[in-house]
Amino acid sequence: MSKKIRTIGLIVLAQLAFSIYSCTKTTTVVIDNTPAITTVVSFSKDIQPVLTQSCAISGCHSGAVAPNLSAATGYTVLTGGSLINTSTPEKSEVYLWMTGKKAVTMPLGAANNPSNINAKILAWIKQGAKNN
């Protein structure tokens, strides 16, 4: 009886260890097959509307959670810190977050972040992250 209980205990322990190990998730990488954007990307027309709709909302980056990506501060916050890297755009913090290479893909929910948005962000950074 003792050997049977020990065997069952080891099986349960092994299943528990396996389930804990297999349920961890640190990042989701979005594979972007969108062609590179070669037209001028405007911050005010192409980038800020996405930030306003998908990021600068209650519970996200509307001032309660840094960075504040609202229309009033979005450009300054993105370009004033370490979020944008124009020399190596693919390594920009904002791009890494949006593509899931930094942690969970932002904005949360794939439906809110079609791949063309990532392409626009990347193109905007490559074009010098201008306030246009």
Which segment, 4-8, 30-34, 97-101, 125-129, is predicted with the most confidence on average? 125-129
Q: Label residue 111 by pLDDT band (50, 70, 90).
A: very low
H-helix or E-strand spanning residue 95 = helix 93-99
Write the CA distances from 117 to 23, 32, 53, 79, 113, integer angstroms: 29, 10, 12, 18, 6
Q: Label residue 101 by pLDDT band (50, 70, 90).
A: confident
For CA atoms 104, 78, 132, 95, give the dihedral sign: negative
Residues 19-76: tens digit of each pLDDT: 666 555 555 555 656 677 889 999 999 999 988 887 877 777 766 667 888 899 999 9
**pLDDT > 90 in the chain, percent:** 31
pLDDT averaged over every residue in the chain: 80
Q: Label residue 123 by pLDDT band (50, 70, 90).
A: very high
**pLDDT > 70 in the chain, percent:** 73
